[in-house]
Amino acid sequence: MSAAEAANAAIDHLESMSALQPDLSEQYQNLVNLYQKKLWHQLTMSTIEFVSIPSSTLRTTAEGINSYHALFEKVILPIDKKINQLNLARIASFVAFSLLDDPPYKDGVAARAILENLLEKRERLGPAAALYTEARLGLLGLTVLARSGEALTTESSVKALESTKEAINKGRSVLAELADTESEAAIVHSAFYETAMTYRKAVGPPEAYYREAIQYVAYTNLSELSQDERYNIATDLSLAALTGEGVFNFGEVVAAPALQCLEGTELSYLVELLSAGGGGGG
């Protein structure tokens, strides 16, 4: 397919989705406008915003296909060389995770394929986008494993967890080379530590979970998380600090913005315990 044919196909797809989903017509028409003007950065940022709220914007096409997947295949991939590679990876991640809630794809095979195919272009992605993609691939695997209800002691579970552990250890050295001052660094750090945190929540020990989680909240814009997500992280972080061996800096936990969502809840006593411990340690 020529570039002109790909462009026409992309615009035709966006126009058809605009007509098919009237309540999303404004968003789809905005993507059409940006595509026609070849404003690739604005297009990718608008796409990230669009696919980051599946509760509002995820639908199916006239052919019954996941609408995010269709958008990725027909609009984003044909221009993948023209856009920021980390933004490409972020879009791919949103698309992959959206497939996990689609009954035919709950096994994660199709979702994994999206990220694995992207990693075949590792050289073009560059270290930041490649590490981000690997981290999200690891988190996707952990998510599928958790949803399956399969015991962590089975052969397949042990193999999956060991593969994730190896990827985390390998990625840590790459992460260390990303300067914190780089605009993309926080996004990559957040993705990496979310995967490492989730892995340690599954296998322990609590002090290892604590180390990864405290880094995750430091690099993550918590306002972008749901209330339930913030509540769960705050609870897990508090319990890990209280039960983990060698965790003495409770003040670090108390100061974390993530804990604010526990105030006024039935678990507010965790913050009080940590505050008392931090005061006693002073």
Task: Compute and round to an integer the Cα radius of gyration of the chain.
Answer: 21
Residue 103 confidence class, pLDDT cut points 50, 70, 90: confident
Per-residue pLDDT of 152-209, as tens digits, reads 999 989 999 999 999 999 999 889 888 665 667 899 999 999 999 999 999 999 999 9
pLDDT for 282 beyond 90: no
What per-residue confidence (pLDDT) applies to 48?
97
Per-residue pLDDT of 16-64, as tens digits, reads 999 999 999 999 999 999 999 999 999 999 999 999 999 999 999 999 9
> What is the spatial distance between Cα 41 and Cα 136, in angstroms, rounded to a whole number?
22
Q: Which residues pair with residue 60 across a beta bridge?
A: 66
> Mean pLDDT score of the chain, rounded to an integer?
89
DSSP conformation letters of 9-24? HHHHHHHHHHHH-GGG
pLDDT for 280 beyond 60: no
Which residue, 179, 181, 183, 176, is CA-closest to 193?
176
Per-residue pLDDT of 212-270, as tens digits, reads 998 998 888 888 888 888 888 888 888 888 888 887 666 666 666 666 766 667 767 77
Which residue, 94, 107, 93, is CA-closest to 145?
107
Average pLDDT over residues 141-151: 92
Maximum mean pLDDT: which of 1-5, 204-208, 271-275: 204-208
Per-residue pLDDT of 55-90, as tens digits, reads 999 999 999 999 999 999 999 999 999 999 999 999
